[in-house]
A and B are shown apart, each in its own frame.
Chain A
Amino acid sequence: MQVFHQMGHNFVWNIHSIEQDGAGDGVIISPVNINRDNIEGRFSLKLREMSWFDPQFYRPQDNKGYLETYSFFPGNVVADYNTVDFTDHADSVGRKCLEYQQSLGLRQLVIPTRYSEAAGSVDLEDLASLYVEPFLKAYSDLNYKKPLLLTIIIKESQLVSEPDRDELLSWATGFAEIDGVYLIFENSFKTKQIVEPSYLASCMRFINALRKNSLSVHVGYSGLEGLLYAAADATSVSVGSYENLRSFNISRLDSTDSGMQQGPRPRIYSGKLNQWIVDTTLAPLRELYPDWQQLFDDTPYKEYLLDPQSSLNFQRSEIYKHYFNAFYQRAKLLPDDLNERTRFLQAWANESIELFGEIREAGVLLGPDSDDSHVIAWSNALAMFSAKPMP
Chain B
Amino acid sequence: MSKLKNANFSSELLLAEHAQALAKQTSGIASGSLHVKSEVKAPGAIPDLVFYKKIGKHVHYIISIELKLSDWRRALNQSFVHRNFSNETYVVLDRAAIGPALRNVDLFRKANVGLASIDPIEGAIVWTCPKPAVPFSYEFSAVFTKNLLSRKNLPENVPYARSARGKVHLSEMRSTFVNYITDHVEPNRLTPNSTLQPSLDPELPTLPLRSFRLKCS
Which positions in A face B, CB cutoff 8 Å?
265, 278-280, 283-284, 286-287, 308-309, 363, 365, 367-368
B44 to A265, Cβ gap below 8 A?
yes
A283 to B76, Cβ gap below 8 A?
no
A279 to B112, Cβ gap below 8 A?
no
Give 22 pairs: A residue, B residue, CB < 8 Å, sorted on A: A265-B43, A265-B44, A278-B44, A279-B43, A280-B44, A280-B45, A280-B81, A280-B84, A280-B140, A283-B137, A283-B140, A284-B83, A308-B137, A308-B138, A308-B139, A363-B111, A363-B112, A365-B76, A365-B77, A365-B80, A367-B77, A368-B74
B111 to A365, Cβ gap below 8 A?
yes
Cβ distance A266 to chain B, nearest Cβ, rounded Å: 10
Given pairs A279-B44, A365-B76, 9 additional interface contacts (CB within 8 A): A280-B43, A280-B45, A280-B84, A280-B140, A284-B136, A308-B137, A308-B139, A365-B111, A367-B77
Cβ of B3 under 8 Å from chain A = no
B77 to A284, Cβ gap below 8 A?
no
B139 to A309, Cβ gap below 8 A?
yes
**Across the two chains, which residue of chain A brings its CB closest to B79?**
A365
Chain B residues within 8 Å of chain A by Cβ, number? 18
Using Cβ atoms and an 8 Å threshold, which residues of chain A touch B111?
A: 363, 365
Residues 122-140 of B contacting A (Cβ, < 8 Å): 136-140
**How far, in angstroms, from A344 to B6 measured CA to CA in the complex?**
51
Which positions in B face A, CB cutoff 8 Å?
43-45, 74, 76-77, 80-81, 83-84, 110-112, 136-140
**Across the two chains, which residue of chain A brings its CB closest to B42?**
A280
**Across the two chains, which residue of chain A brings its CB closest to B44?**
A280
**How far, in angstroms, from A284 to B43 measured CA to CA in the complex?**
14
Using Cβ atoms and an 8 Å threshold, which residues of chain B touch A368?
A: 74, 77
Between A279, A286, A308, A365, the greatest number of chain B beta carbons within 10 A of the residue's beta carbon is seen for A365
Using Cβ atoms and an 8 Å threshold, which residues of chain A touch B76?
A: 365
Using Cβ atoms and an 8 Å threshold, which residues of chain B touch A280?
A: 43-45, 81, 84, 140
**Across the two chains, which residue of chain B brings its CB closest to A310?**
B139
**How far, in angstroms, from A287 to B112 measured CA to CA in the complex?**
13
**How far, in angstroms, from A278 to B111 measured CA to CA in the complex?**
17
Using Cβ atoms and an 8 Å threshold, which residues of chain A touch B140?
A: 280, 283
Cβ distance B173 to chain A, nearest Cβ, rounded Å: 20
**Across the two chains, which residue of chain A brings its CB closest to B135?**
A283
B80 to A284, Cβ gap below 8 A?
yes
Cβ distance B62 to chain A, nearest Cβ, rounded Å: 15
Known A279-B44, A308-B138, A308-B139; contact A363-B84, beta-carbon cutoff 8 A? no
Between A287, A309, A368, the greatest number of chain B beta carbons within 10 A of the residue's beta carbon is seen for A287
A283 to B136, Cβ gap below 8 A?
yes
